Amino acid sequence: MPSRLPTWIIGAALLLLVLCGLIGAFAATQIIAYRDSQATVTANAVATFAAATPTALALADSDGDQLSNIREGELGTLPDNPDTDGDGLTDGQEVLVYGTNPLKQDTDEDGIPDGTEIANGTNPLNIDSDGDEIPDAEDPFPMMRATPTITPFPTIPGTAGDVCPGSPSPSRVAVGMQAVVEPGGVANRLRAEPNPEAEIIGFMPPKSVFIINGGPKCDEVAQLRWWQVQFGDLNGWTAEGEGDEYYIAPPGLEGEGEDAGQAADEEAALASPVRVANLNSRLMGVQVNWYVPADQWRQVLDLAGPMGVGWIKLQADWGLMQSEPGQLSEGFQSFAASVRDARARGYRVLISIAKAPSWARSSSTGQAGPPDDPRDLGRFITLMLEQIGTEVDAIEVWNEPNVHREWDTRALEFSGAGYMELFDAAYRAIRAYSSRITIITAGLSPTSTTEGSINDRRFLREMYEAGLGDYDDIAIGVHPYS
């Protein structure tokens, strides 16, 4: 009879089988879980990489122009070219700094690329950077406004008839009659419109005869009485007079108006009637701005060459050249170099001195003006001529002293007599250095008498009354327009 296994052995074997099954099932579960976790990690890594790659590319700046690739895509610029339009500015500079169009070389369409405008200091968003009504591309000095003409202050509303507060009364002429320019003054201006600021179209010298064919009209600016006249081939407007002084008269009455005979001794020196003349360009010149870097100054001289003129005029800003009394400043050295460059090219040099430094003036309004003591100007001229006197051919003493913006002072009278005090000090200093240099009186602004200006004819007469005729080796400066 076969032997039988004990019951406890059979039970233990069954229990062992159950445990092995449980262990196997647990191990399989862990393996599957591990494999699933590895798959998740891989999937996450792949997904993250797939998402990060385009983001990084979009935020990248491939061409280093400070604009991201995605931003360049929005703008239409090239992400691999820092200067899409080739104007000399990077796309980032155009968008982030200057506000110009990165797809357009010349944003303001003035004919100058944006990069060139930035380099020159002009505004790439404005065709006329200095607001002088001359486009940058045509303006030799696009960051310098032309000196404005003084605007007279109107006082009494004008009339359309015979009574004009700015002119003498009563009127002595009428439409249809012949008239003559008073003999004791300077040439009468013919203007395009009945206004002292209108374009000058010609001149009628003293004793000129003309026909009155229109008027009178009273302008709203200076309150002058204007007549339309025919003088030769010219048809324009001329003022009958100013204040108590008549400029024109009926034939036979000339010379009877107040002040008409004051300048009888000057009459012989007045110009003959206007006629076509052969001009000698070597006796003519051009005023240029020297407040530019040396290379630009040489470029200015290059541009002046084709004009064929023989003179260059520079304005010497005294305040810039002598910041302290007794010595010349660095600004003078730049000016002196400009003078020498002009002379080296064969030009004769005319210097116009203006704008006293603050240390020489008590006025603090901010406008230009002369020194309190005219001798300070003489001392400056002496210092200047010691440095560049051999390079200077002529000196104009001040600029338009008959307008307040150039003569803001409490120390010297605002008149021709006040100017002659300054002129005399300058004359003595120049003549102490040289008898060769031509001395020129300040060119006067062609304007009327207002709160801010003195009529140039009247101012010149005041200069003669104060002794101008005693100087027999000078020239008279004239600004025919300003």
CATH code (residue 203): 2.30.30.40
- One domain, residues 380 and 440: yes
Helix 456-465 / helix 416-433 crossing angle, nearest 10 deg: 60
Domain check: are 317 and 438 in the same one? Answer: yes
From the centroid of its chain, how far is CA 430?
A: 31
Q: Which residues, including other chains, have CB under 8 Å from residue 67's CB and lie 6 or more apart? A: 61, 75, 77, 91, 92, 95, 96
- pLDDT for 41 equals 40
Whether residue 301 is found in the same domain as residue 252:
no
Average pLDDT over residues 334-347: 93
CA distances from 29 to 22, 24, 32, 35, 210 (A): 11, 9, 5, 10, 124
CATH assignment at residue 368: 3.20.20.80
Name the band, by pLDDT with cuts 50, 70 and 90, for residue 268. very low
**Do residue 208 and residue 297 come from a single domain?**
no
pLDDT (tens digit per residue) in 404-456: 999 999 899 999 999 999 999 999 999 999 999 999 999 999 888 888 899 99
Out of 18-32, 56-70, 332-346, the most confident range is 332-346
Average pLDDT over residues 370-388: 96
On whether both 454 and 423 belong to a single domain, the answer is: yes
Domain range holding 309?
281-475
3-state secondary structure the chain: CCCCCCHHHHHHHHHHHHHHHHHHHHHHHHHHHHHHHHHHHHHHHHHHHHHHHHHHHHHCCCCCCCCCHHHHHHHCCCCCCCCCCCCCCCHHHHHHHHCCCCCCCCCCCCCCCHHHHHHHCCCCCCCCCCCCCCCCCCCCCCCCCCCCCCCCCCCCCCCCCCCCCCCCCCCCCCCCCEEEECCCCCCEEEECCCCCCCCEEEEECCCCEEEEEEEEEECCCCCCEEEEEEECCEEEEEECEECCEECEECCCCCCCCCCCCCCHHHHHHCCCCCCCCCCCHHHCEEECCCCCCHHHHHHHHHHHHHHCCCEEEEEEEHHHHCCECCECCHHHHHHHHHHHHHHHCCCEEEEEEECCCHHHCCCCCCCCCCCCCHHHHHHHHHHHHHHHHHHCCEEEECCCCCEHHHCCCCCCCCCHHHHHHHHHHHHHHHHHHCCCCEEEECCECCCCCECCECCHHHHHHHHHHCCHHHCCCEECCECCCC
Residues 201-239: tens digit of each pLDDT: 888 888 888 889 888 998 887 888 999 998 887 889 999
For 281-307, what is each residue's pLDDT tens digit? 778 888 888 888 888 888 888 888 888
d(CA 399, CA 317): 11
Say if residue 436 is in the same domain as residue 352: yes
Q: Taking the alpha carbons of 207, 210, 216, 220 in that order, is the dihedral positive or negative?
A: negative
Asked if residue 291 and residue 247 are part of one domain, the reply reads: no
- Where does the pLDDT of residue 52 fall: very low under 50, low under 70, confident under 90, or very high at 90 and above? very low
Task: Say if 158 falls within a structural domain.
Answer: no
Residue 256 in any domain: the answer is: yes
- Determine, yes or no, domain membership for 239: yes
| 207/300 same-domain check | no
| pTM given for the model | 0.48
Say yes or no: 216 and 332 in one domain: no
Residue 303 lies in a domain: yes
Residue 274 lies in a domain: no
**Is the backbone of residue 215 left (phi > 0), alpha (psi -120 to 50) or beta?**
left
Check pLDDT > 70 for residue 43.
no
Q: Are residues 389 and 245 in the same domain?
A: no
pLDDT digits 0-9 by tens, 68-126: 888 888 889 999 999 999 999 888 888 876 789 999 999 989 889 988 888 777 888 88
- Lookup: tokens for 365: 């309004």
pLDDT of residue 8: 61
Q: Is residue 34 part of a domain?
A: no
> pLDDT grade, residue 261 (50/70/90)?
very low
pLDDT over threshold 50, residue 15: yes
Mean pLDDT over each residue of the chain, to the nearest integer: 80
Taking the chain, what is the end-to-end CA distance rounded to the nearest angstrom? 149
* Number of domains composing the chain: 3
Cα 43 to chain centroid, rounded: 69
Cα 11-14-15 angle, rounded to 5 deg: 85
Mark whether 254 and 286 lie in a shared domain: no
Can you tell me the distance from the alpha carbon of 358 to that of 228, in angstroms, rounded to the nearest whole number?
47
- Whether residue 153 is predicted with pLDDT greater than 50 in this model: the reply is no
For residues 333 and 448, state if they share a domain. yes
